[in-house]
Structures are given as C-alpha cells and as structure tokens.
Amino acid sequence: MLIAEPLQRAIDELSKLPSIGKKTAQRLALHLLKSDKETVESLVDAIGALKNELRFCEICFNLSVEEKCDICKSPKRDHSVVCVVEEISDVIAIEKTNEYNGAYHVLGGVLNPLADITPDKLHIGELIKRIESGGVNEIILALNPDAEGDATSLYLTKILKEYPVKVSRIARGLPIGGDLEFADPATIGRAFSGRIQL
C-alpha cells in the first residue's frame, strides 16, 4: 500500500524516537492526523520549546530555563551534599521520592571505552572544580548498578580520595514488594552486603 508522503515522513520521524517502532509510529501519526489543529499545534510548540527555551545548568548540568537550575538556586537545598547521576532522568526519578534535599551533578553518561566514552567526554572535570571551589562535604554516587556504572563509580572514588569529601554510594538490593525467590543472586548478595542495623 502506498502511503501519502506527509504521513510517511511523520512515521519516519516518529520512529526515530527511543522505544518507538514503525507500527507505534504509524499509530501516533494517524492519531495526530485525526486530532484537531490546536492539539497538534500545541504539541509542535511544546517540542519547539524543548530545543529553544531549555539549556543545561552551568553548575550541575540539569535542565534549566535560566543559567542556573531551580535546585542550584534554591536556598532551601543542602549544597554541601552533591548527588552524582548519569542522566537528567535520574534527577527526575530521585526528586519524585522527596527523600533527598541536596544538590546534583549530571555526568552526561558513564564511562564506556567500547563506545568511546572516556572521562574527558563526561562532566567529571566540572565536578572536581565544584569540589575545589569549596562548600562540598559529601558526594553521593547514584549511578546505575551495571558494569559501566560500577566502573564510573570506581573511577570517581579513586579521584575523589584526593579531596576532603565523604564519598558514598546509594544502597542496592531488593525492591519494595520484590520476592526473594525471583531475585537474581547478585541482587540478593548486594542486599545482604548493604544491610543496615535496626
């Protein structure tokens, strides 16, 4: 079946998004086609604003409308504690918990020599400058518990030993509501090694 060129172009562009295959892209394009003009224009404006109005915070590399993000500007946050994360999506996930009241530092990825991601391609130098400028007492490493996240945590731990800051890593283990019988051995092992006294 021959698809009209504007529809095909929309399908092609939508299928470039993560986790969107051709069938889902086609469903989305057809949904947009059936939607009223105002809805589609609102979506186009929102997507345009992502690129035109957002920038990276000059301190932590989180998303911001201004030079500094709301977290870095907030006098209510504890700026002596910096949580180091891989991506902006990690900041969003941690903020949803309402359990953390410190600052952040977004690395922009993790070390991965096979993908040519070396320390100079991450915001590690900027983290060191933040520590050297004073006021940072603790670094919390909140990187994913995979090979790249572990390698990056190890690398940062070695570098940060030269500075008078406490370095910790978020606990790992079983999720709330998880069953022991279905957990993999590594997760169970980490749950035991990261146990806390009651």
pLDDT in tens, 54-89: 999 999 999 999 999 999 999 999 999 999 999 999
- CB-based contacts of 191: which residues, under 8 Å, 6+ apart? 172, 173, 174, 183
Whole-number pLDDT of residue 39: 95
Angle between helices 5-14 and 22-34 (to 10 degrees): 120
Q: Which two tokens stand for residue 162?
A: 């030269």
Give the dihedral sign, CA 71/73/74/78: positive
Tokens 């050297």, located at residue: 132
Beta strands 63-64 and 78-85: pairing type? unpaired
Beta strands 55-56 and 138-141: pairing type? unpaired
Residue type, 87: E
* Residue-wise pLDDT tens digits, 23-39: 999 999 999 999 999 99
Residue 198: pLDDT above 60? no
Whole-number pLDDT of residue 9: 94
Q: Which two tokens stand for residue 164?
A: 């008078």
Distance, in Å, from the CA atom of 95 to the CA atom of 86, rounded to the nearest integer, reads 14
Q: How many CB atoms lie within 10 A of CB 17?
A: 11
Whole-number pLDDT of residue 197: 59
Beta strands 63-64 and 55-56: pairing type? antiparallel
DSSP assignment of 116-169: TB-GGGTTHHHHHHHHHTS---EEEE---SSHHHHHHHHHHHHHHTTSS-EEEE
